[in-house]
């Protein structure tokens, strides 16, 4: 007799929680190909030698914590290799990773990323508008950190909200150098003694740009070095699901309190600009088929100089020319091309309305339709 072996069901994703533990072990326990984006702010391996003082002799609150100590570069490389392998396994095929670091570690991490099979898409320089000065005056002021953005593999269809980032940047294409302040003021979390709760808390503005640009609402964003939970806080505001991993109880406590006070933006506010090319194509003829415009109805040019008649097959006739809304518009204007959608208007109840309004109406109906 055949024995039935019960298939092991995949472990559920611990969505919107902070998991206690070592990130490599935790990630290895998560289902394969289940995460859309990983944002990682790993230990810098600063290798600080001795205390650092300001000119007034006060001590600088530097990153000298145990979590940032590694015995050697080789030990750091082993650690980087292991957490990157664990991270890559849980990424969906079209998933991507961001890793932030400083000159102490980012070059080693960059090589490890490529060795692990990730495909580097960009490196972004986060230029700090308010960096900490170089107190000893022996080197340049260290005023930036580098982020590497990579897809799981070459050719993957990673998410990139080009138009949304362009809108964030006042209509100008977003570049790879981002000038943003370090985390200070009310955003900087404090412990019970009023000291910084974490030495390397990242600014929310940085994560806002990363998540708007490379995720969509409902995506799963995992941060294996959660710290105070900046990634989770911004993900929650933006309607993404987060998974945080952090092994220090004190940081988890701070992050949990922070996240409990975060509210998600409302649905309309979460809609971002999308590429025009990504919007569904609506033929002009659909407006006639749907009875939104009638054959024989007159359309008027936006500049009020020309008019044309709608025909049953979705073409126009204007003056001595017949053709598409674009061809007739271009002919009447004597122009090489014309966007008929923004050129032609129709009249309703004494008002002149661009035909593009009808196209938008159809598109929004398409979006509302469940898949």
Ligand X SMILES: C[S@@+](CC[C@H](N)C(=O)[O-])C[C@H]1O[C@@H](n2cnc3c(N)ncnc32)[C@H](O)[C@@H]1O
Shortest distance, position 63 Cβ to ligand X, whole Å = 8
> Across the chain, how many H-helices and E-strands are there?
12, 14
Shortest distance, position 190 Cβ to ligand X, whole Å = 13
The token duo for 25 is 């072990």
**What residues form DSSP beta bridges with 98?**
39, 149
Tokens 């609402």 locate to 217
Segment lying near ligand X (by CB under 6 A), choices 86-94, 167-175, 239-247, 264-272: 239-247
Binding to ligand X by CB under 6 A, coded x per residue (else -) over 14-53, reads --------xx-----------------x-x----------
Choice between 219 and 246, CB closer to ligand X: 246
At 311, give phi and psi (nearest 5°). Answer: -110, 160
Binding to ligand X by CB under 6 A, coded x per residue (else -) over 198-237, reads x-xxx----------------------x-xx-x-------
Shortest distance, position 204 Cβ to ligand X, whole Å = 9
Choice between 56 and 192, CB closer to ligand X: 192
# residues contacting ligand X (CB under 6 A): 18
| One-character DSSP codes across 257-325 | HHHHT--PPPHHHH-----GGGSPP--HHHHHHTTSS-TT-EEEETTSS-EEEE-TTS-EEETTEEE-H
**Lateral strand order in the sheet of 344-348:** 321-323, 316-318, 307-310, 298-301, 344-348, 351-354
Q: Using alpha carbons, list the distances in angstroms from residue 213 to 70, 134, 217, 224.
A: 33, 33, 11, 20
Q: Does 247 bind ligand X (CB under 6 A)?
A: yes
Segment lying near ligand X (by CB under 6 A), choices 134-142, 212-220, 243-251, 273-281: 243-251
Shortest distance, position 25 Cβ to ligand X, whole Å = 8
Tokens 């196209």 locate to 359
Residue pair 249/280 in contact (Cβ under 8 Å)? The answer is no
Binding to ligand X by CB under 6 A, coded x per residue (else -) over 136-175, reads ----------------------------------------
Shortest distance, position 50 Cβ to ligand X, whole Å = 21
Choice between 34 and 228, CB closer to ligand X: 228
Strands 298-301 and 307-310, bridge-based pairing: antiparallel
Choice between 36 and 41, CB closer to ligand X: 41
Shortest distance, position 288 Cβ to ligand X, whole Å = 55
Q: Does 64 bind ligand X (CB under 6 A)?
A: no
H/E element, 195: none
Strands 35-40 and 220-223, bridge-based pairing: parallel
Choice between 214 and 228, CB closer to ligand X: 228
Shortest distance, position 121 Cβ to ligand X, whole Å = 21
Q: Which residues bind ligand X (CB under 6 A)?
A: 22-23, 41, 43, 67, 198, 200-202, 225, 227-228, 230, 245-248, 251
């Amino acid at each position: 007799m055949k024995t039935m072996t019960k298939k092991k069901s995949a472990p559920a994703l611990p969505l919107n929680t902070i998991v206690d533990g070592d990130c490599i072990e935790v990630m290895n326990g998560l289902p394969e190909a289940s995460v859309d984006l990983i944002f990682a702010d790993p230990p810098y391996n600063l290798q600080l030698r001795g205390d650092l003082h300001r000119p007034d002799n006060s001590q600088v609150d530097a990153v000298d914590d145990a979590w940032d100590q590694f015995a050697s570069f080789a030990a750091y490389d082993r650690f980087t290799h292991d957490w990157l392998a664990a991270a890559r396994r849980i990424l969906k095929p079209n998933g991507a990773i961001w890793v932030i670091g400083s000159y102490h570690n980012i070059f080693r991490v960059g090589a490890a990323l490529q060795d692990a099979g990730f495909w580097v898409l960009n490196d972004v320089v986060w230029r700090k508008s308010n960096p900490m000065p170089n107190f000893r005056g022996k080197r340049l002021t260290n005023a930036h950190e580098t982020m590497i953005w990579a897809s799981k593999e070459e050719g993957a269809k990673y998410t990139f909200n080009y138009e949304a980032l362009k809108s964030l940047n006042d209509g100008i294409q977003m570049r790879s150098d981002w000038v943003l302040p370090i985390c200070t003021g009310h955003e900087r979390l404090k412990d019970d003694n009023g000291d910084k709760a974490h030495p390397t808390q990242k600014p929310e503005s940085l994560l806002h740009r990363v998540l708007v640009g490379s995720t969509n609402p409902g995506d799963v964003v995992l941060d294996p070095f959660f710290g105070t939970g900046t990634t989770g806080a911004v993900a929650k505001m933006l309607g993404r699901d987060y998974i945080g991993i952090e092994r220090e109880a004190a940081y988890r406590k701070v992050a949990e309190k922070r996240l409990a006070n975060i509210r998600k933006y409302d649905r309309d506010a979460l809609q971002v600009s999308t590429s025009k090319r990504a919007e569904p194509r609506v033929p002009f003829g659909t407006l006639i088929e749907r009875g939104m415009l009638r054959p024989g109805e007159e359309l008027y040019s936006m500049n009020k100089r020309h008019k044309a008649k709608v025909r049953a097959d979705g073409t126009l006739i204007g003056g001595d020319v017949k053709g598409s809304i674009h061809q007739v518009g271009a002919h009447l204007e004597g122009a090489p091309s014309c966007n008929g959608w923004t050129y032609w208007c129709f009249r309703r109840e004494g008002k002149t309305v661009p035909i593009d309004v009808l196209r938008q109406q159809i598109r929004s109906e398409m979006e509302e339709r469940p898949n």
